[in-house]
Chain A
């Protein structure tokens, strides 16, 4: 009887006694989350319903920022949408396929293989400022090495980052050099496939392609899924690579005006910041990312999680 009707203070004291050590240990991370993530998140949500320029206090509560994106700013906003989605649907598969192919090439136990892996990974540790300056110089249409090389081969000069037709392709080309990071992940995944499977398959006379499509690829589907989710999340918010190469510019005809860059411009890129509109754009981006992630998880019937899961 007594146990059931313990005083609340005793219940709290017992609860604290049991848990306080854990809370002390995780307290920095939880405080960090509250101050630097949750609070800004909520604040940004609130800003998105107001006009706010950081000079006058917030005013005019309403949906005007969201409406603006689809009415007077629709031309600009839809441009950003198409640039961002074009980049996502090209960069993500490109990364998946190329880095996987590289991993297949380097997943061998031959002499010097480690040196090759290091060389392939090297561009990933280059500071983004250094690689930005590098590509800016390399693809400079006048004094860039790229056009001098094309001329030496007798080919016409390229327009690279100076034409809306070629800017995105050029950006995707520069992204190829970052494939080493994904490649390392693939190699680790490939190594976890038991070699007996391949031995059995080659005794049965399965060709290289059959082994690839019926053993390797099904067994790496968890990694494909992981890379797909993170790749899409990353690609939808990407803009800093192009930002550095183009030194803050949106590219010719806004051909590299990513969603993230549009947010940056609205908040930090003009004399009078429009924090309400920028927050609304940021929240819409967040919603799209969240929705896509849910859809990918819900429609995931193709991932193979080992025998136990079946």
Chain B
């Protein structure tokens, strides 16, 4: 009896051992592929940053290499031109308005759609949500004509004024998703105590919504910072260009003294830095936000 037990436990042990080796091999294979693909995904960054440290001669000598021979900062010096600071200033103006207006109005509207009862609430929300399907091309042309008529062309108004009006349905949707999770009992208690909706909104809801506000702030920053087609259409004069348009225009055309790959990549690296910093600080919120904005609704 005892022998039998020890025999079977022996068998189990070898089986266990085999299982473990098998698992270890599977794990190694998994890690191998994960690293391989990780290399693939960081390659654009690597290429951009490494090229930005090259000299003009290195980027125009064949064969082109991935790694620079020295730590050359000339390309950064060349890319930090006075124009770049003007583009930065314009971008900061757009950012300032959007970063205040978008979170504020989207939380405000989302409160109405989530916690206040009124006639036609679901219908209005459905109509707003359906505009996500509308191609930008349909509205861009009349908006351009409207801005020309208002004298807004070549000003920053087309990039700032729309932010005051609800901050975009995507952000309202995000807030709404978040607010649905807040208990209604709290609202009702406050109402019984005689608070009206506006007091509840300011004193209760806004402080509770800070996590989603942070997400909206980061998203708004990234979308303003990266926005290109809108500014390209509405800003035809150099003095109002934002960073994205300014940099695009600066490097348009063939290679020349001011337009070598190393300078292009140095400028691109500088342009990417704020987003990367924000991403590393808020990566959890951002990745959750990607999910929250999709199917949970």
Contact = CB atoms under 8 A, between A and B. Distances in A.
Interface of A: 15, 18-19, 21-26, 28-33, 35-37, 39-41, 43-44, 47, 54, 102, 105-106, 108, 110, 116-123, 125-135, 137-138, 140, 142-145, 148, 151-152, 177, 180-181, 184-185, 188-189, 222-223, 226, 233, 236-237, 240, 243-244, 247-248, 260, 263-264, 267-268, 275, 278-279, 281-283, 285-286, 289-290, 293
B118 A22 contact: yes
A5 to B, nearest CB: 22
A133 B272 contact: no
Contact of A130 (B229, B268, B295): B268
A151 B63 contact: yes
B257 interface: no
A30 B124 CA distance: 8
Interface residues on B, range: 35 or more
Given A19-B118, A41-B139, A289-B135, 10 more contacts: A19-B119, A25-B109, A28-B166, A37-B139, A44-B138, A133-B268, A134-B48, A135-B44, A137-B51, A260-B135
Interface in B282-297: 283, 287, 290-291, 294-295
A37 B134 contact: yes
B252 A33 contact: no
B287 A117 contact: yes
A121 B288 CA distance: 13
A36 B143 contact: yes
A209 to B, nearest CB: 15
Contact of B37 (A102, A134, A185): A102
Contacts of A281: 137
| Shortest Cβ-Cβ A-B pairs, 7 listed | A25-B112, A32-B165, A22-B118, A29-B166, A130-B268, A40-B142, A43-B142
A37 B131 contact: yes
Interface of B: 27, 30-31, 33-34, 37-38, 40-42, 44-45, 47-48, 51, 59-60, 62-66, 105, 108-109, 111-113, 116-119, 121, 124, 127-128, 131, 133-146, 148, 162, 164-166, 169, 172, 196-197, 201, 222, 225-226, 228-229, 233, 243-244, 247-248, 251-253, 255, 261, 264-265, 267-269, 271-272, 275-276, 279-280, 283, 287, 290-291, 294-295
A292 B60 CA distance: 48
A144 B66 CA distance: 10
